[in-house]
Amino acid sequence: MNKNYITSKDIERRGLMFVLSSPSGAGKTSLAKKLIDEEQNISMSVSMTTRKARKGEQNGKDYIFVTTEEFKQSIEKNELLEWAEVFGNHYGTPKTEVENQLKEGRDVLFDIDWQGTQQLHEKVGQDLVRVFILPPSVPVLEDRLKGRGQDDEKVVKARMKQAANQISHWAEYDYVIINDNLEESLSELKSILHAERLKRERRIGLSSFVRNMIQKM
């Protein structure tokens, strides 16, 4: 009897939408970048935003920078999977590119807040994996925000106040990671991704693979 060996290359699967949310300064962006660099078959969703570009940011790579009027038009045309207003600026996810990636079996990583995550959950359900990143403590969160040097004291205080609201939504997520050590948190994040990729309902080629195996027995 010939032996059959199941590998990830043998079985087709649907791509998944892998969401990371956290208060500002919890390390979400650093984790997202490392995950993209070290994992195959996953790409970052590029959000559309009305905020001004920061130093070093590139239009179309880091964000798609648009005017408020252009953003509103995208909402009216139903071109966004989700959108939210954060600190007076609008952020949203263009629909077409994400849908194309999922159809090809590629995973898409989202760096969005709880508002956008709720909208995605309502629309895509089973294709969504939600991970919330927590800081190890309040003092550490404040130190990280100040250490970035991107915001003045007033903005840091506003972000600390907003953090309580963000953190209050932690229970709406499938997984929670306390980011005390970046490498350990990255390892946990990879474990979640690998396990979710192997879920039976997500592996659309598994049924035909098993039927074919049984027929040859």
Query: What is the distance between the terminal CA atoms of the chain, rounded to a whole angstrom?
Result: 7
Average pLDDT of 170-187? 96
Higher pLDDT, 211 or 79: 79
In this structure, what DSSP letter does residue 175 have? E
Handedness of CA 128, 174, 186, 5 (dihedral sign): negative
The pLDDT-based confidence of 60 (bands split at 50, 70, 90) is confident
Q: What is the pLDDT of residue 142?
A: 79
Q: What percent of the chain has pLDDT over 70?
A: 93
Q: How many CB atoms lie within 10 A of CB 112?
A: 25
Please report the domains of the chain, with CATH numbers, ordered by start residue: 17-45+105-215 (3.40.50.300)
Average per-residue pLDDT for the chain: 88
Q: What is the pLDDT of residue 148?
A: 61
**Which range among 5-9, 111-115, 166-170 shows the weakest confidence by mean pLDDT?**
5-9
Average pLDDT of 181-193? 97
Q: What is the pLDDT of residue 1?
A: 42
Q: What is the pLDDT of residues 99-141, one digit of tens each?
A: 889 988 899 999 888 988 999 998 887 889 999 999 989 888 8
| pLDDT of 194 higher than 80 | yes
For residue 166, what are its two tokens?
Answer: 């963000």
The pLDDT-based confidence of 90 (bands split at 50, 70, 90) is very high
Q: What is the pLDDT of residue 86?
A: 82
pTM of the full structure: 0.81
Between the CA atoms of 181, 184, 190 and 193, what dihedral angle is there, to the nearest 10 degrees?
-70
Cα separations in angstroms, 19 against 8, 24, 132, 198:
22, 15, 8, 17
Average pLDDT of 184-208? 92
Q: What is the pLDDT of residues 150-166, one digit of tens each?
A: 666 777 777 788 888 99
| pLDDT of 2 higher than 50 | no
